[in-house]
Amino acid sequence: MALGQPRIEYKTNSQILKMREAGLVLAEALDEASAAARPGVTTKSIDAIFAKVLERHGATSNFLGYHGFPASICASVNHEVVHGFPSDYELKDGDVLKIDGGAIIDGWHSDSARTVLIGNVDPADQRLSEITEQAMWAGIAAFSKARFIGQIGEAIDDFVSSQPGAPLGILEDYCGHGIGSAMHMAPDVLNYNTGHRGPRIKPGMALAIEPMLVRGQIGTSVLEDDWTVVTDDKANASQWEHTVAIHLGGIWVLSAHDGGAAGLAPFGVTPSPITA
């Protein structure tokens, strides 16, 4: 560790297993919240559905009350990229909703996000979400093989820039992060190529990998609520995120029901669950 740099927390297998418990609760909560998202439904009601799943499993939200955040999920619509407040806004046909949430079990955290397309959406928004999700899996696959954190951003950047069709912007002001006994920890996980290696990847490291892509320019602003991030050019945005751990046996996507098997298969990577 370089002098003055934040310490990276390395988890034991038993601690990763606790994070997996939190990840499975979170996956179920996101399933139910996403299924409820349809035209006419308020984002506040989706937040309530998410919160009930956590309560049912004895988990707590790591979003609610975080620096004063007022809800259990971030609900960001269309050109709102991240950190949107759930509200009385009724979803409309064609909306692009980002649901970002987290759960804690016995002090161990998980964090995951999905883009949910409401009704009949613009094919360009469908493409935006698909490429963002695939870019996340490209980053996770890189985590399984890379020596340094910076290679995750390189893989995401390379994947996005290689896609045919209209170019998409990768947000640079917001990034992924370490996670474990707290929601946000070292190291930062950038989603683009900076040319810097960053910290060395070691077993016991857990990250939240979360690319955010936009259909337009990457400039953003924060609304008067001091939370909601929007694109300056009003172009729609997508966010996908999973909590992922590296252990001596390999990689495990803690917030995916299947441990990441389906998402990683196209990249030739097989997840390795911890069994004890």
Annotated binding site for substrate: 83, 184
List the strands of the sheet with 220-222, edge to edge: 80-82, 229-231, 220-222
The alpha carbon torsion through 28, 33, 35, 38 (nearest 10 deg) reads -170
What residues form the annotated binding site for a divalent metal cation? 100, 111, 177, 210, 241
What residues form the annotated binding site? 83, 100, 111, 177, 184, 210, 241
- HSE at residue 164, side-chain half, CA atoms within 13 A, is 0
